[in-house]
Amino acid sequence: MPTLLRVKCWINCLLNTKMIRLLRYYLPYKRLLTLAIVCNMLMSIFVVVSIPALLPFLQILFSGAGDGVTPTQPLPHKSGFQNQLDLFFEQLLLNHGREGALLIVCSFLVFAFLGKNLFRYLSLYFLAPVRNGVVRDLRQKMLQKMLDLPLSFFSEERKGDLMSRFAADVQEIEWSIMGVMEALVREPIVISGSLAYMLWVGPSLTGFVFVLLLFSGVIIGSIGKTLRKQSGEAQSRLGTVMSLVEETLGGLRILKGFNAEKWQSERFGKENDSYAHTITRLSRRRDLASPLSEFLGISVASVLLWFGAKQVFAGEITGPTFITFLYAFYSITEPAKAFSAATYSIRKGLGALERVEAILDAPLAIRDADNAFEITEFKDKIEFRNVSFQYANAERGALENIQLEIPKGKIVALVGASGAGKSTMADLLPRFYDPSEGQIILDGKNIRDLRMKDLRALMGIVSQEAILFNDTVRNNIAFSTDDASASEVEAAAKAANAHEFIINLPEGYDTNIGDRGSKLSGGQRQRLTIARALLKNPPILILDEATSALDSESEKLVQAALERLLENRTALVIAHRLSTVQHANEIIVLDGGRIVERGTHDSLMQLSGYYRKLVDLQAIG
């Protein structure tokens, strides 16, 4: 791509709003960035000043100065600066001879290239923390945004795709940063200085060069038009591949148990092949740019040599002038190639930035109200007032017109078949989702008007799935309670019937339990989550199938501990095992998102309705 087209492309990139937003991430590093820019400018100056200094040396050297020949007189069309430079070199040749002058000039070239490379290293030295810092900030902002986003956002996204945005897309942005800084600051100085000299010594020759570059640039420019689109497609396919890897690692037990390794391998192979084909197309288009650029460059240089030689033969320009013109021309080609590479990098980087900003710009559907109330304790009751809820893209509502009151100190149990809406009700209370209709009231205030951090601080949650982290037993129990002592952690573990198996682990409470607690059994993992909720000691407990993974003996022990701890405490308990909720103050029976029955265990048994059928199916009554 010719220089002017590259500059135009860069201007378009800089005017792009996403590019402007990317540049805003530089602001915390403006001091380092300024130093890098200054070093790049100094490096460019060392490159540019060496071009005009070569012309008088060649002129005088070829004229025979220094061997008794009268020094060349200043020419009237030259600038005062150039005349002074000519006179300086003539005097240098007369005083030191050819060999002495050559040694001095070679020393000057060594000094120029020393300065160039020194300042190039310094620019990279100052730029390194900027590049890495911006990438770090992007990843931190992405993770923080993911923590802030509601659960509904992740139900529409693949985990592997989100992981790909953290890794591959942010990496592309990092390379874009490098391309921007080096090409935007350094190359324009070299290009403008070289062009100025070319126009000064040979305007017609420079015009001829631009015609050649324009012709070759049209060819090369057509290659890069689809790079951004193909880059986005490649990153999206990589996200799908990563999602399948995540599914494979998470479902190894089931895949092996059902001899489904071949099925999963074929699924992965299909997506992996598609990604490979997309990358191959992208690589071929990218790799074509370099050889084609080199071939066209040689072609342009050959035509330039032919045309310039004709001007030398015709006496329109001198031989030394033509040589320095060629030097200036090749001083432009490398920066022009850098512009081409940086343009390609920016195209890919903007495609990656779009995927990153899809997370950063995702709307927070669930957030604190502008004047949210602070709350530090639970005093009275929780009310569900005409609450209805429907998941995005669902055919029907998960909850319909729920009316429920949970007084302080009471235990309310939710029972019903799978899909009845039990877990949905539990998710609405800590505002993982907001009701589609109706209100949830806590101590007379709509929970939408309370600070979410304060609201969730009042609650302890034990989910159906045991969510644990790749850390020690102690840290998994105490991760939400910073000031918990060792004795408090042990007390919570004992209450959850977990202390006995913990002390038998290789390092006791300091044993690492592996990814998602993979080193523990299902019952052990669930007991750790119960201990975690008990240590927090919140006024409101949400137990979503809390005992579902326990064996019969552990279930009885944990249930007894829970019953003791639930005295005078508010709890919302969800269970398929109806034996665990018989002593609840009120049992809510859900079916199809509606409350179909409510009452105590004894009163519901007397109704001989839906609850009685569930009890009979489990043969407990």
What is the pLDDT, as a whole number, of residue 533? 80
Region 117-124: what's the mean pLDDT? 88
* Residue 349 and residue 411 share a domain: no
Which of 328, 360, 392 marks a domain boundary? 360
The answer to the question of residue 365 being in a domain is: no
* Residue 207 and residue 324 share a domain: yes
pLDDT 10s digits, 489-545? 888 888 877 888 889 888 888 888 887 777 887 778 878 888 888 888 888 988 887
Region 251-264: what's the mean pLDDT? 71
* Residue 509 and residue 473 share a domain: yes
* Residue 398 and residue 335 share a domain: no
Cβ-contact 123, 39 below 8 angstroms? yes
Which of 360, 390, 416 marks a domain boundary? 360
Contacting residues for 125 by C-beta, under 8 A, at least 6 apart? none
The answer to the question of residue 367 being in a domain is: no
Which residue pairs from 17-25 have beta carbons closer than 8 angstroms and sit at least 24 positions apart in sequence?
18/350, 18/353, 18/354, 18/357, 19/346, 19/350, 21/353, 21/357, 22/173, 22/176, 22/177, 22/349, 22/353, 23/180, 25/134, 25/137, 25/138
* Residue 333 and residue 432 share a domain: no
pLDDT 10s digits, 223-234? 555 555 556 667
* Residue 21 and residue 95 share a domain: yes
Residue 414: pLDDT band by 50, 70, 90 thresholds? Answer: very high
The answer to the question of residue 370 being in a domain is: no
Q: Which domain holds residue 76?
A: 3-360
* Residue 489 and residue 350 share a domain: no
One DSSP character per residue, 472-513 reads BHHHHHHTT-TT--HHHHHHHHHHTT-HHHHHTSTTGGG-B-
| Cα separation values, 559 from 198, 219, 533, 554, 581, Å | 88, 75, 14, 8, 10
* Residue 495 and residue 402 share a domain: yes
Q: State how far Cα 527 lies from the chain centre.
A: 35
Residue 383: pLDDT band by 50, 70, 90 thresholds? Answer: very high
Which of 309, 325, 360 marks a domain boundary? 360
pLDDT 10s digits, 21-68? 667 777 888 898 889 888 888 887 887 777 766 665 665 556 554 444
- Tokens 């990843």, located at residue: 139
* Residue 401 and residue 351 share a domain: no
* Residue 390 and residue 245 share a domain: no
The answer to the question of residue 169 being in a domain is: yes
pLDDT over 50 at 15, yes or no: no
Rg (CA), the chain: 37
pLDDT over 70 at 169, yes or no: yes
pLDDT over 60 at 346, yes or no: yes
Question: Which backbone phi and psi does 392 adopt, to 5 degrees?
Answer: -60, 135
* Residue 553 and residue 487 share a domain: yes
The answer to the question of residue 45 being in a domain is: yes
The answer to the question of residue 181 being in a domain is: yes
What is the pLDDT, as a whole number, of residue 118? 92
In one-letter notation, the amino acid at residue 514 is G
The answer to the question of residue 147 being in a domain is: yes
* Residue 392 and residue 347 share a domain: no
The answer to the question of residue 366 being in a domain is: no
Residue 304: pLDDT band by 50, 70, 90 thresholds? Answer: confident
Q: What mean pLDDT is reported for the chain? A: 77
Overall number of domains in the chain: 2
Question: Which backbone phi and psi does 398 adopt, to 5 degrees?
Answer: -80, -30
Q: State how far Cα 462 lies from the chain centre.
A: 31
What is the pLDDT, as a whole number, of residue 435? 92
Region 148-171: what's the mean pLDDT? 77
**Percentage of the chain with pLDDT > 90?**
9
What is the pLDDT, as a whole number, of residue 179? 62
Q: Buried (b) or exposed (e) across 31-70, using 16+ Cβ within 10 A? A: ebbebbbebbebbbbbbbebbbbbbbbbbbbebebbeeee
CATH of the domain at 140: 1.20.1560.10
What is the pLDDT, as a whole number, of residue 228? 52
